[in-house]
Every structure is written in C-alpha cells, then in structure tokens.
Structure 1
C-alpha cells in the first residue's frame, strides 16, 4: 500500500487544492480539511477517457468505490450517489455524498466533466446549505464542498472562492488518456488506399 501511495504521489497532491478553508472553518478544523483535498485526483483506475461525460465518470466512481475511497484518503465514508434532497418542495440531487469520520461532517462532491466555471460554486453552496439544514445533526461540523473538474483557471477559482462563507475546495481530476477506437486503429493500419 505504501508503494502504491508513493507511486501515485499521494503526499505531494494532498492539501494542494484551492480552498477557502482557513477563512471559513475554525483553525483546529481548517488544517485537516485542507489536507483531505488533493489536487489533482487520479482517476485513471476508472478506465474512462477524457471525453467521458459527467454521468459516466460518476457511475464509474461508484462502480470502483473501493479504489475511489483509497484515492480520497483516510476517514471518508460513502453515503450515496445522486442523493435526493427536497428543499421547498423541489427535488435536488447531490452527485456524491460522503461523511468524514475525523472531521465529523458531510462532504459533498460535485463533479464537472469540463472546465471550472464560477457558477458551479453557486450550485455547490446551495447543496452545502441544504445538507446542513436538512441532513446534518447539530453536533456535526459544517459540511465541506469539493468541486472536481477536468481543468480550472487558478485565478478564476481563487476569485470565485473569495466571496463564499461556506468551506469549499476546487480540485482537478485526471482520467487516463483515451485510446483510439477500433475503427480508427483499422484505418491507421490499412494505410492510404
């Protein structure tokens, strides 16, 4: 297991995500919260390429939940996928919901198949408020949100986090490089006709 973490550079990736945890969480919690968010996350074990859509990535993460929990790190407990929240008579669905045993809080993971956009944080902010209001117990620490996207502009992400009072992190993920299709390989092998 140690060799596995060394080869994946787990230590080097821990705590590298852009977040506002220092500003939104108590000092005793913010350091641990920062350490649980990696950047980038390595999702090569999913077997999907960079062209995959959000639902395919989400399904693959659940299908490989053991590997996903190892990639997330110690303390995460899987709660569910597409967890339904009813707020004001409307239904909303959280991509992935976890509970962190050491931090004693829910962790909402919102997955985006493309580049980071500031409006993604608005959706995640809503989910955090709804989980705190509808699911969390009074003894739970504030819910943490992690937005996982294929790419991001660091400056845009930092500015987007400045105005939020909720504990949020933005990190990238890596998928394996796509393999060419069978048809494409056959075309390449047959050469010009």
Structure 2
C-alpha cells in the first residue's frame, strides 16, 4: 500500500503493529481516513504526535472521531431505518465496530437496563475502555441531535458514575452518535468544563478518502 504523506505513513505503520492489523484492516482504516479524522480534533502538537507515537489515549477526547464511519452496517446513506435497525447492524458486525472505535474497548451489553425511582431506562450500547478505565455509553440517534438527547445522556452518565462504576475507575464517558448535529447547540447545552459527554456524526456509506477530507474541511 502506497501512502504518499510521510507523517500519515508513519502513523499507519505504528498503529498496524500496535493493533495487529492485517492487510484488510489496514486498508479499511486508510480508506476511512482514520488519520485525518483523528488529526481534525487535535492541535499541531497533537497531530505531530500521531506521526511519531500513533494514537495515544490519555483522556476522553483522545478516543473521539467525528465522523464515525459505519459502512459495515450495509445501511444505505439515504434509506429509512430505525435506531433499532442501526443498533442491530452494529451488534451483527461487532468486530468491525470495535475496529472503528479503536484500542481498549470491550463490549458490555446492548439495551442495558437500569431502574431509578421506579422508572426504567435503557442505554443503547455499553462498553468499557481498559486504557482509560471507564465505562463508555453510546446513544444512537438516526436524525438531528436535540438538546433533550444530550440531557438524557447526562442522566445516564450521572447514574453510571454514582451507582455503577467502582471507586478506582474513572468518570463515565457518554457519546451520542447522530446523523446530524448543530455544534453550537451541543456546546450551549453542555457545561463549559465538560469532559464526559460528546456528540459525533456517523456515516453508513464509506466515501472516498478525498470526499471525507472535503467533508471534514467543511466542518472546520
């Protein structure tokens, strides 16, 4: 595989060895513009570290991608489907989803139920990240993200922090995977010192590497 950009090539060399990627996995990560998606959320120093150290996971933000690419679900980009359909496809292709999530993730469960004040709630997908030693909750939204969705995730995160996690584990992370979002609304809904709840778009069709770059540049 030819990767013209030297920094990008070094990144994939490091990550392929670290994660034990075969040719198929490496090709998929390159085609999904993993390097660019990670670089987008980092400052210049962080981007430089990608080419010399790979993806270093030290804080919640280091886990994030925007967008997440879920082409393995086989769901057409413009087709109508439910959140249950999306969740089922992710579970059916769990290994592919774990590859997209990155290092350290272990699957805990889907539609994980908890009860509080005689009300029942369910978290779409629950993972634990061994590197950050914390639960990571995913809520799937097939439409545009609403501020109420963020409030709901805040409650889920609070519950896990207060009732589920162990004392030696780190604060829970909540990630809202949505088809569309308004970053200004997300920022205004969350506290200024937020470091636990994040919103990212997802794609169900793998665009070309060039299309992904243009998409991300338009978000800057």
Counterpart secondary structure, 2:187: helix
Structure-to-structure mapping, 1:155-166, within 5 angstroms: 155-162=184-191, 165=194
Task: Confirm whether residue 97 of structure 1 aligns to residue 140 of structure 2.
Answer: no
Structure-to-structure mapping, 1:48-67, within 5 angstroms: 48-50=75-77, 51-67=80-96
Aligned to 2:213: none
Deviation at 1:54, TM superposition (A): 0.7
Aligned to 1:186: none
- Give the 3 Å change call, closer, same or farther, for CA 110–16 of structure 1 in structure 2: farther
- Give the 3 Å change call, closer, same or farther, for CA 30–10 of structure 1 in structure 2: closer
Deviation at 1:165, TM superposition (A): 4.9
Structure-to-structure mapping, 1:32-51, within 5 angstroms: 32-50=59-77, 51=80
Relative to its length, the structure with more strand (as a share) is 1
Q: Could you tell me whether the CA contact under 8 Å between 1:46 and 1:64 is conserved in 2?
A: yes
Aligned to 1:2: 26
Gapped runs of 5+ residues in structure 2? Answer: 1-24, 42-55, 207-220
**Higher CA-based Rg:** 1
Counterpart secondary structure, 2:59: helix
Aligned to 1:87: 116
Structure 1: distance between partners of 2:199 and 2:167 = 26
Counterpart secondary structure, 1:107: strand
- Count of matched residue positions in the alignment of Structure 1 and Structure 2: 166
Aligned to 2:196: 167
Q: TM-score, normalised by structure 2?
A: 0.70
Deviation at 1:168, TM superposition (A): 0.7
Q: Give the superposed CA RMSD.
A: 2.1
Counterpart secondary structure, 2:137: strand
* Structure ranking higher on relative contact order (CA contacts 8 Å, 6+ apart): 1
Deviation at 1:166, TM superposition (A): 6.0
Counterpart secondary structure, 1:162: coil
**1:35-93 superposed Cα distances (whole Å, 9 cap, x missing partner):** 21100010111011242111100111111100000011111111000001111222110
